[in-house]
Every structure is written in structure tokens, then in C-alpha cells.
């Protein structure tokens, strides 16, 4: 039996990047999926990719904006209506935002990044936890970042929001462990997704982003970007029953760079 046979998992930001990678891994392990994203076309493509590889997978797709609490309640309620429960939640939707020094960082941009990356995670936890508390079990993995455990520069909104995700994870884990719910976060470094490509284009431009990428990973002990499927392996483990006693932890997955002096 696979680790997720007959288990239901919600994934936000499922239409691309880390969300899609985790969905593929969970589908491989026979999970029933509730895929959430603001991008309807991205959701359709992710669903098609999953069903091409794992045709027996039960998938519900829900278009929702994680900064709208009513839409968050909708994706939680719709998941329960379809499947009757929520075993796991990969609370992942997020953006990087524009890069700039703090003094030049746009106030509207700061608010937008915090709204998606932190408020969206909070709303998701708030409404999923109500279901899991009533069930008496569940597992939540939030997407933080190495930018949530150290400074990265030129990313005030991103760093502030991801540090907030770390604090929210630890605080809620302390509150809900007594109800059989484990809550943890991952702290990815540079994983080769479209979001990271966009970041490199901010640094090196349309023609120079690949060279900027080579320079970017040079200080990394492993001298490379992470792969989306590596996030899939980690999140699947953290959502599984094998990781029930891992609670309030923030797990870096960055080739060791955040520990380097």
C-alpha cells in the first residue's frame, strides 16, 4: 500500500512549480487531490499532466485567490464536500515580488507580497485546522523559504512574509499538537521553477539570466539549483504518517547554503 492510499490532500499554488511537483509525487502514492490555484489554465495543465502519468488519481480542481478569505473557505468546504475529510494540506501558494532595497521597495508591492505569502497561509491554516481539529488528526506543511530563516537582500516583502510563515507555523504547531495535528514548514533555497527564472531575469535580464544563475549557485556547497521533484519527496514524507512526531520544525532544503558561514 502507498503512503497516501485513501488520503485526501489540498495543495495551493498547484498549477505550477512546487505545488505541481508535490501533486505529482502524491498522485504517485495514490492520494486524492484537491488542487487550488488562481490560474485556471495552470490547473488544467497540472491536472492533465498528473492524469497522463497516474490516470487513476482522483482530482478536484478549484480556482481560488488565497488572499480572499471567502474563497479560502470555499476551497476547504468544497474539498470536504467532495471527499469527506482533509488528511493533509500543502499550504504553498506564494510569490517573490520585485527586488529592491528596502528604502526603494514599493509600499503597494510590500502589501501584495505579504498578503499572498503570509495572509494566504494564515487563512488556509485557519479554515483547514477547524476541519482537522474536529477529525482529531491531520498534517500541514507550509512553504516558507531560506528567506524565512535568514536575510537574503533586496527582498523586504518576501523575507518579511516568509519569516512570518515560520512564526505562524511554530506558534500553531504548539497549539494544535494536542489534537493530533502536526504542522511544519519547508524552507527551500533556489529551486529551478518559473518563479526562480523570473527572479534571475530581474538580476541578469532576458539574455543574461542563465549566466546569472550560474553565478547564483556558485556559493552553494552543492553548486546547483534544487529540483522541483526533490521538494515533492520531502513534502510527501512530511505529510505522511511517518512524520507525525515532527512538529513545529522548519526543514531547509537548499544544498546546505543557509548553514554556510
Going along the chain from its start, the domains and CATH numbers come out as 8-189+227-250 (3.40.50.720), 191-225 (no CATH)
Measured CA to CA, the distance from residue 107 to residue 140 in angstroms comes to 31
| Active site annotation includes 179 | no
pLDDT bin (cut points 50, 70, 90) of residue 1 is low
The rounded percent of the chain whose pLDDT value lies above 70 is 100
C-alpha distances in angstroms, 173 versus 53, 181, 182, 249?
Answer: 34, 8, 6, 9
Going across the sheet that includes 88-91, the strands are 59-63, 32-37, 8-12, 88-91, 138-143, 181-188, 250-253
Measured CA to CA, the distance from residue 210 to residue 260 in angstroms comes to 24
Give the DSSP H/E element, type plus range, for residue 142: strand 138-143
In the prediction, which pLDDT does 198 show? Answer: 79
Is residue 100 predicted with pLDDT exceeding 90?
Answer: yes
Average pLDDT over residues 23-40: 98
CA 46 to chain centre: 15
Classify residue 137 as exposed, middle or buried by CB count within 10 Å of its CB (0-12, 13-18, 19+): middle
SS (H, E, C) 157-178: HHHHHHHHHHHHHHHHHHHHHH
Cα 21–Cα 170–Cα 125 angle in degrees, nearest 5? 60
The per-residue pLDDT of the chain, averaged, comes to 95
Evaluate if pTM is beyond 0.85: yes
Measured CA to CA, the distance from residue 156 to residue 141 in angstroms comes to 23
Higher-scoring residue by pLDDT: 39, 210: 39
Give the DSSP H/E element, type plus range, for residue 148: none
Average pLDDT over residues 36-61: 98
Give the DSSP H/E element, type plus range, for residue 255: none
* Residue 141, φ and ψ in degrees, nearest 5: -120, 120
Lowest mean pLDDT among 44-48, 175-179, 221-225, 249-253: 221-225
Give the DSSP H/E element, type plus range, for residue 155: none
pLDDT bin (cut points 50, 70, 90) of residue 195 is confident
- Is residue 26 within 8 A of residue 9, CB to CB? The reply is yes
Choice among 158, 179, 259, 261 that is catalytic: 158
pLDDT digits (tens, 9 = 90+) for 117-157: 999 999 999 999 999 999 999 999 999 999 999 998 999 99
In the prediction, which pLDDT does 261 show? Answer: 77
In the prediction, which pLDDT does 260 show? Answer: 86
- Per DSSP, the three-state class of 250 is strand
pLDDT bin (cut points 50, 70, 90) of residue 6 is very high
Amino acid at each position: 500500500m502507498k503512503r497516501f492510499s485513501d488520503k485526501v490532500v489540498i495543495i495551493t499554488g498547484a498549477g505550477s512549480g512546487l505545488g505541481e511537483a508535490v501533486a505529482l509525487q502524491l498522485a504517485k502514492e495514490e492520494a486524492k487531490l484537491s488542487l487550488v490555484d488562481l490560474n485556471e489554465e495552470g490547473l488544467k495543465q497540472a491536472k492533465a499532466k498528473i492524469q497522463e502519468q497516474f490516470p487513476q488519481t482522483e482530482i478536484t480542481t478549484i480556482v481560488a485567490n488565497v488572499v480572499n478569505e471567502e474563497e479560502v473557505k470555499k476551497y476547504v468546504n468544497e474539498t470536504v464536500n467532495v471527499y469527506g475529510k482533509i488528511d493533509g494540506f500543502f499550504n504553498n501558494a506564494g510569490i517573490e515580488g520585485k527586488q529592491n532595497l528596502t528604502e526603494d521597495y514599493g509600499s503597494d508591492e510590500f502589501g501584495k507580497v505579504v498578503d499572498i505569502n503570509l495572509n494566504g497561509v494564515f487563512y488556509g491554516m485557519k479554515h483547514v485546522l477547524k476541519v482537522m481539529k474536529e477529525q482529531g488528526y491531520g498534517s500541514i506543511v507550509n512553504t516558507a523559504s531560506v528567506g524565512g530563516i535568514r536575510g537574503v537582500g533586496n527582498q523586504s516583502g518576501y523575507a518579511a512574509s516568509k519569516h512570518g510563515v515560520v512564526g505562524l507555523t511554530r506558534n500553531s504547531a504548539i497549539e494544535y499538537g494536542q489534537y493530533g495535528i502536526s504542522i511544519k514548514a519547508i524552507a527551500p533555497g533556489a529551486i529551478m521553477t518559473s518563479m526562480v527564472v523570473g527572479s534571475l531575469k530581474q538580476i541578469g535580464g532576458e539574455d543574461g539570466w542563465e549566466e546569472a544563475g550560474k553565478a547564483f549557485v556558485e556559493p552553494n556547497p552543492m553548486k546547483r539549483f534544487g529540483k522541483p521533484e526533490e521538494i515533492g519527496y520531502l513534502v510527501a514524507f512530511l505529510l505522511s504518517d511517518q512524520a507525525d512526531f515532527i512538529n513545529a520544525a522548519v526543514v531547509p532544503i537548499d544544498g546546505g547554503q543557509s548553514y554556510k558561514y
